[in-house]
Amino acid sequence: MIRTMAIPTMMLLAACGSATVASEDAQAKTAAATTKPLDIAGLRPGMKTADALAFVKQGGWAVRANPGDSWAETVEQAVAQRLQKLPASSKRTGVYSYSATKGEETLSFNIDPTPDGGRLGLVQYRAPQAGRTYAQIRTEVIGRYGPSIYGPRQAVLIAPRGKDGETLSLDVDSTGMHLTLMPAAAAASEARAVIDRAVTARVGSVGKSF
């Protein structure tokens, strides 16, 4: 009797396991196909700095600038690097990033220097757990952004890629929940290319005579 039931039982368990994996695979494929734009508190990589500042201030955030290189200083540094010279010390008259607070929530966004005043790069958000479990926070984030592309067993939630290739991740630790929105690799490459084109306009092409 025991031997007779063992095979069907094993087959049933195997089928259930396969169904679970298939379900998670289907969820991942559905998530990967999502192409909606991603944002944190209305901020998206690639936004103009002026637009982002206006938006967060309108939302009641207190904003502080963190010094960094301006567009002109960024180009000067890149020119020196292209010519293999020691760059002059930067006066850091630009902004590297902005930090914003609203109650116990914090928001930060990096600025990629551009001729038109800068564009947003990495965007990060933090909030306390406020009595919520990791599972509850994860459910809230999934409801906002969509299922994790790595399925429910992954400790760190990675949302589907956004319309422009940006990615969002969730992590929860003793300090609270952390959301990170990263620009697409293509956007990061374009940010570097903008600087390279400005340098070439200044010094001409170097290393192109072969």
pTM above 0.85, yes or no: no
Characterize 37-73 residue by residue with b for buried, 16 or more Cβ atoms within 10 angstroms of its Cβ, and e for exposed. Answer: ebbbbebbbbbebeebbeebeeeebeeeeeebbbbeb
Q: Where are the domains of the chain?
A: 34-65+96-184
Beta partners for residue 126, in sequence order: 106, 178
For the chain, the maximum distance between any two Cα atoms, rounded to a whole number of angstroms, is: 86
pLDDT digits (tens, 9 = 90+) for 138-158: 889 888 887 777 666 555 677
| Segments of the chain with pLDDT less than 50 | 1-28, 30-33
Spatial separation of the C-alpha atoms in residues 201 and 170, rounded to whole Å? 41
What percentage of the chain carries pLDDT values higher than 90? 49
pLDDT at 143: 87
pLDDT digits (tens, 9 = 90+) for 3-38: 333 333 333 233 333 433 344 344 445 444 456 788
pLDDT at 113: 95
